[in-house]
Amino acid sequence: MKRKFCMLEENKICDDCLECNTCDLDPNKICDNCAKCIDSQSEYRAIEIDDFIISEDLKRKFKIIERINSKTKEFP
C-alpha cells in the first residue's frame, strides 16, 4: 500500500486529520466547495505560494526536457 503524504507539511505522512480540507472562512467546517472564499467584488484574487512540491518522476521529466532544449539550441 502506497503511503499518502500530508499536503500541508512536507515529509509528514498523512494521518487523515482533514486540516487540508478545512474551510478558509470557518475553521470549524470541512470545505464543501461552496466557493464563498473566492466570491468577491474585487477585480482579482491572489494567494501566496511558498513552495512547489514536485515529484521525483516530474523532476526526471524536466531534466529530460532541459537536455533536449539545450541540444536544440546548439543546432539553429
Q: Hey, how many other C-beta atoms are within 10 angstroms of the C-beta on 23?
A: 15
> Is the full-model pTM beyond 0.75?
no
pLDDT in tens, 19-47: 989 998 898 999 998 888 877 677 777 77
Residue 25 gets which letter from DSSP? S
- Percent of the chain's residues with pLDDT above 70: 92
pLDDT band at 76 (very low <50, low <70, confident <90, very high): low
- Report how far residue 4's alpha carbon sits from residue 17's, in angstroms, rounded to the nearest whole number: 12
Give residue for cell 537536455.
Answer: 67
